[in-house]
Amino acid sequence: MKKGVFEIRDDFYLNGKPFKIISGAVHYFRIVPEYWRDRLEKLKAMGANTVETYVPWNMHEPQKGKFVFEGMLDISRFILLAQELGLYVIVRPSPYICAEWEFGGLPAWLLKEDGMRLRGCYEPFLEAVREYYSVLFPILVPLQIHHGGPVILMQVENEYGYYGDDTRYMETMKQLMLDNGAEVPLVTSDGPMDESLSCGRLSGVLPTGNFGSKTEERFEVLKKYTEGGPLMCTEFWVGWFDHWGNGGHMRGNLEESTKDLDKMLEMGHVNIYMFEGGTNFGFMNGSNYYDELTPDVTSYDYDAVLTEAGDFTVKYEKYREVIGKYTQLPQVTFSTDIKKKDYGALKVQEKVSLFRVLDDLSTPVSNTFPIPMEKLDQSYGYILYRSALEREQNLEKIRLWGANDRANIFVDQKPLITLYDRELLKEAEVKADFESGALLDILVENMGRVNFGPLMESQRKGIAGCVQLNGHMHYNWEMYTLPFNNLEKLDFSKGYEEGTPGFYKFVFEVEEAGDTFLDFGGWGKGCAFLNGFNLGRFWEIGPQKRLYIPAPLLKKGRNEIILFETDGKTAPEISLKAEPDIG
C-alpha cells in the first residue's frame, strides 16, 4: 500500500494538494458485513470520496477485558474495503459516540463500580479507556494514511462541549490517542454555538461543527474557532431518529437540506449524517431523557440518503446532483444482488411461558436486597426479581425505588400492574389478594440506556434501591438475569399460561434468501430472534411496524423465529413482508 500524507493548514491537503472532504456516515456495526460493499459502492457513486464511522466501545469490549473484532465488528475489514473502493476514511474512536446507541457506546460494565463518573478526569474511567485503546489502536494504526491505509482523520471524544468543560479530560483523551499511535490530524466536533465550541475545543485540534441547517450562519460561528483552518460540518443531519410512541417516522426537509449541502460544499467540507442509518439490532438502541424517557426504535433509518435496507431515495438523487457540481461523478457497478421477499404468514408453532423456563435460562442469585443488572454482570435485556409474600395479607400499594425502565409486576403469576418510566417514581395503588407464600415477580426491561446528557451516570437497570409494599420495605429476593443470549435452552414443552410473558416459535422454509420485514401487527411488546440473532425490539405503539431482516441472516432450508412478548398481547401469527413499514 502506498503511503501518503494528510494535513490541515488553511484547508485539508492530501499529498500536498487541496482536498475537499465529501463524506457520508456508514456505521459498520449497524449493517451486516455482507452488505458493506453495497453501501460503500453507493456512497462512492453519489460522488463521495470518504466514509466516516464511529467505533462502539460497548460492542468491542462487551465484558471487561474481553474484546470482539469479528463479523459485524471487523472494523479493519470495513476500512480496508473502503480503501479497495477508493474511499478515504474518518474514524471516530471516542470512548463516547452518542449515535442514538445504547449508553452512547460506553460499556454498561462501567456502572458496576459505585461512584463511577463518566467523561471526565476520573481515574477508574480513564483506566478503562486506556485498556480499551491499548487493544483498539493496534488495529487502527496501520490503517492510517501514513502507513498506506485510507484513514485521514480521527476525532477526539465527541460533542464534548454539549456535555462538559473539563479541558484536562479532553487533553488526556488527545494524549491517549497520540500515545497509542494516532498520526493523522485530529478534530473535535461540537454543536455550532459559542458555548459548546468553547467547552469542547482543544489546542492543536481542528474544531468542526455538527448541524443540519443554516450553513452560512453556523460556519460563521465556527470560523471564530478554527484559527484560519478549514470549515467542516462533521455531522450534517439530513434526517432524524424515531423513538417509540413519537407518532410517526421523522423526516427531514429535502429542499432545505439540498441547499445546505450546496452551501457547505461551496464554503468547506461535509460528512453527511447519515448516508445510511442501518439498524439497532439486539438491545442496542439508545434513549434520550428530557422530561421523560424516549427510547429509540429498532430501525435507525434516520430518513438517511439510503434507507435502512440500502435502497436509493429521492434524497440520493438530489444530493448526487449537488455533489456533481464539485467533483466528477464516477461510474460504479453495483456488485451485490439484493432482492426483497414476501415469505407470507407464519403461524405460532409452539409457545411457553417465561415462568415455566426461568430456571433453564438463568441461575438465580439470592440477596436480601434487589440488585441492579450491572452488579450481576448483566448489561442488556431483562431481569426478573422474585420473592415470596409471607407476611403481607394483601397488596394495596407498591413502589420500586431506583428502578429503570419498565416493570411488569405479577402476583401468583397473574398480571398486577405495569409501570413505565415516571410511573416508577411514585407509589402505585394496586389490589391483590393471595394466599401466604404466593410469589411476587417483577420483570424489569432495560429499554436502552440514555446516550446523551447528565443522566448517563444514573443508568443502572433493574432495581437499584428497594421494593416497598404497603409502605414497608420488602426483603429477600431471587434475581434471574435474562440477557437472552441462550435461547437454545428453551423447552417449549413446559407449559403456557395466557396473559403472561412468553416465547413463541415460528418456523419457515427458504429456497432463495431475500431481505424481508417482520410484521408484528397484533403483538404487544417484546423482541424477536431469527436463528439466534437478536433482530431488535417491537412495540405496538409504533411508529415502527416491521423489523428489518437482511437476507444474509436467513439460511437455505429451515429457519426459526422466536418472539418474546411481555404484556400477554399476542396474535396467532406474524408475517414476513417484502416492504418496510417504519411509520
User: Which residues are the active-site residues?
Assistant: 159, 235
The count of other CB atoms within 10 Å of the CB of residue 510 is 17
CA end-to-end distance (rounded Å), the chain: 46
Residue 430's alpha-carbon distances to 136, 441, 446, 469, 511, in angstroms, are 51, 14, 23, 10, 52
CA distances from 116 to 133, 219, 442 (A): 19, 37, 27
Distance of CA 225 to the CA centre of its chain: 31
**Which residues have a Cβ under 8 Å from the Cβ of 536 and sit 6 or more positions away?**
279, 280, 281, 282, 283, 284, 285, 298, 527, 528, 547
List, in sequence order, every residue forming a beta bridge with 14; answer none if it has no partner. 6, 17
Cell numbers of 389, please? 409474600
**DSSP state for residue 329 in the 8-state scheme:** P
Cα distance between residue 443 and residue 407, in whole Å:
5
Closest-CA residue to 577 (of 342, 409, 326): 342
Q: Are strands 232-237 and 206-211 parallel, antiparallel or unpaired?
A: parallel
Pairwise CA distance, residues 555 & 233, whole Å: 41
Transcribe 204-246 into DSSP letters.
TSEEEEEESS-HHHHHHHHHTTSTT---EEEEEE-S---BTTS
